[in-house]
Amino acid sequence: MKIKKYIASVLIVITILVLPVSVLLNQVAGKFFSKEFTSQMLYEKVFNTNDLAYLMRAIANERIKDVQDLKTGMIIAIFSKADSRKWEDLLQTLLPQEQLKPVVDHTLDGFYDWKANDADYPDIQVRTESFVEHLSTNTEFLFRWAHSVTRPPQLKPDALEQLKAQGFGDSIPPLLLSGVPDSIYDAFAERGGELMAEQLAKANVPKVIDLTEIIKGKTEVEKLRDIKGKLNILQGVSKWAWVFLTILLMVGFWMYGFRNKAFPSMVSRSFFGLAVGMFTVAWLAGHYLLENLELRIHANAESAPRPLRNKLIELITHYLDQAGGLMYTIGWVLIVISLGIVAVNVIKVRRSKALQTKT
């Protein structure tokens, strides 16, 4: 009998120590492995116009430091000069949500399908046809936008006359650096849009960008297999560990004995211990786990622009905050139940003593 109680106590203690961690893992990993939840979070935290404008501006500001090619440098310099409001105007016109959403959803489909199948690499192709067609019909807007960002000084009269005589020329950079009066600006912008449309046609943008080939060129297949294996193990553990541990707790209670006089006290202490465990794990996740994750992300993804890394950390922080809130709620519920069991037990003991006194 003592051995049975000893085993029961060990099971209960193990459950109290590990169950809070499994609940946190279930909440955080469960949300990450949910395609629908991840898609919603991406649109709420990354791809809404305000956040995407901030992100693109930050990336442009970071990239301008490393660009050595003059042509590319000029383009990125223009983008880096644009404030957040300008970026919002650009994105709303050139990257509408109804075109962006299918691309993002298709990319997520490729990732989650790869995680579930036996393929070595995810099959992800981004179709650019709709983006290019939309851009080709808005090149004048893009020129006006870029020209308003550069804010060039007004041309002197002789230079302005020369520019008009040339039909505003055949090169975009000189136009972006030329200020003209409002009276001829519409014709000036129309010519700039025509030149941008010509450059876009010459660029011959591929209709499909094969991200699978890009990944193959940058990542070894063994590394991807290892990542997939770990992700699937993590998903399985996060999904079922808390169920297994809850069953262990019930088994521990059953072995301890429901008819045992000390059983209510054991349940109360166990629930109180679980509550403390929930509070502790939630606090550690919010303070230490996130900090460690930040260091690992910045250390292992140095090639990615820092704004992208910061957005990833922001998403993980959101997951941890939600999981921590749930754990705090569960913890307080367990404390209330624990106190309720103690109160009921005290009332029963007092009634029993009162009956004994009467008899």
For the cut 70, the answer to whether the pLDDT of residue 328 exceeds it is: yes
pLDDT beyond 80 at 127: yes
Tell me the per-residue pLDDT of 221-252, one tens digit each, with 9 for 90 and over: 888 889 899 989 999 999 999 999 999 999 98
**Is 22's pLDDT higher than 90?**
yes
Average of per-residue pLDDT across 315-324: 84
pLDDT at 204 over 70: yes
Tokens of residue 324, six digits: 């921590």
Q: What is the pLDDT of residues 247-267, one digit of tens each?
A: 999 998 888 877 677 888 889
User: What is the structure's pLDDT at 340?
Assistant: 93
Q: Where are the domains of the chain?
A: 2-32+220-358, 53-218
Inter-axis angle of helices 139-150 and 84-94, nearest 10: 170
Q: Are 57 and 310 in contact (CB under 8 A)?
A: no
Tokens of 355: 């009956």
Among residues of the chain, what percentage have pLDDT more than 90?
Answer: 28
Instruction: Decide if pLDDT at 318 tops 90.
Output: no
The band of 60, judged by pLDDT with boundaries at 50, 70 and 90, is confident
- Please list, residue by residue across 155-182, b when 16 or more beta carbons sit within 10 angstroms of its beta carbon and e when fewer do: beeeebeebeeeebbeebeebbebebee
- The pLDDT assigned to 184 comes to 93
Tens-digit pLDDT profile for residues 147-186 = 998 888 999 989 999 989 989 988 888 898 899 999 999 9
Q: What is the residue-averaged pLDDT of the chain?
A: 85
pLDDT of residue 38: 83
Position with higher pLDDT, 48 vs 10: 10
Give the pLDDT of residue 317. Answer: 82
Task: Summarize pLDDT for 128-138 with one digit per residue, the tens.
Answer: 888 888 888 99
Residue pair 328/282 in contact (Cβ under 8 Å)? The answer is yes
In this prediction, residues 63-76 reach a mean pLDDT of 65
Confidence check: pLDDT of 143 > 80: yes
